[in-house]
Amino acid sequence: MSIFTNRIEREAKTVEVMIGLYCKNHHGLSVTDCPTCSELQNYAIDRLHHCPFHEGKTSCKNCPIHCYKPGIKDDIKQVMRYSGPRMMLRHPILTLFHFSDNRRKEPLSMLTQPPPVEPDEVEDCSGPIN
C-alpha cells in the first residue's frame, strides 16, 4: 500500500523516519542495531496497525484514547520533539503529509464508534473496537 493513499502506512513510515533520525543522532546506530529504538519502533507501528480509528484516525497526539503505555508515550514524545523539526529538509513530502494529517483534531470514525475507553484501560489494545 502507498503512503500517499494509506494513512496508517504513511504514519508508520513517518515514525520509522523519526525514530531512525533520533537513534542515529543519540545512539549512533541504525534502528535495526539498537534494541531500545527497535522496541519503540515496533511498539509504535503495532499501535498504528491496531488503531481502532483506522484511516479515520487523528494524530496520536490529539487522540481521545491514546493507547500507548505511559512510559512509552513519554519516549515517543521525546523522539517527536527531536525529530519533528529536523524532518523537513530530509523528508519534505512526509513532513507535509504529517502537517496535513495533524489538522484533523478528532477521529472521523468516532461518530460511528462506541465511546472510547479511558487510556489506563487500554494497556493492551489488541484490535479495533467493534
Q: Which residues bind ligand SF4 (CB under 6 A)?
A: 47-48, 51-53, 57-58, 60, 63, 65-68
Q: What is the DSSP string of 2-18?
A: -TTT-HHHHHHHHHHHH
In the complex, what is the shortest distance from the CB of residue 13 to ligand SF4, in angstroms, rounded to a whole number?
Answer: 15
Closer residue to ligand SF4, CB minimum distance, 33 or 123: 123
Short-list 56, 51, 81, CA closest to 66: 51
In the complex, what is the shortest distance from the CB of residue 127 to ligand SF4, in angstroms, rounded to a whole number?
Answer: 11
What residues contact 15, with CB distance under 8 A and at least 6 apart? 41, 44, 45, 48, 76
Closer residue to ligand SF4, CB minimum distance, 31 or 48: 48
In the complex, what is the shortest distance from the CB of residue 36 to ligand SF4, in angstroms, rounded to a whole number?
Answer: 20
Q: What is the rounded distance in angstroms from the CA atom of residue 66 to the CA atom of residue 28? A: 30
Closer residue to ligand SF4, CB minimum distance, 31 or 51: 51
Short-list 125, 110, 114, CA closest to 44: 125
In the complex, what is the shortest distance from the CB of residue 11 to ligand SF4, in angstroms, rounded to a whole number?
Answer: 8
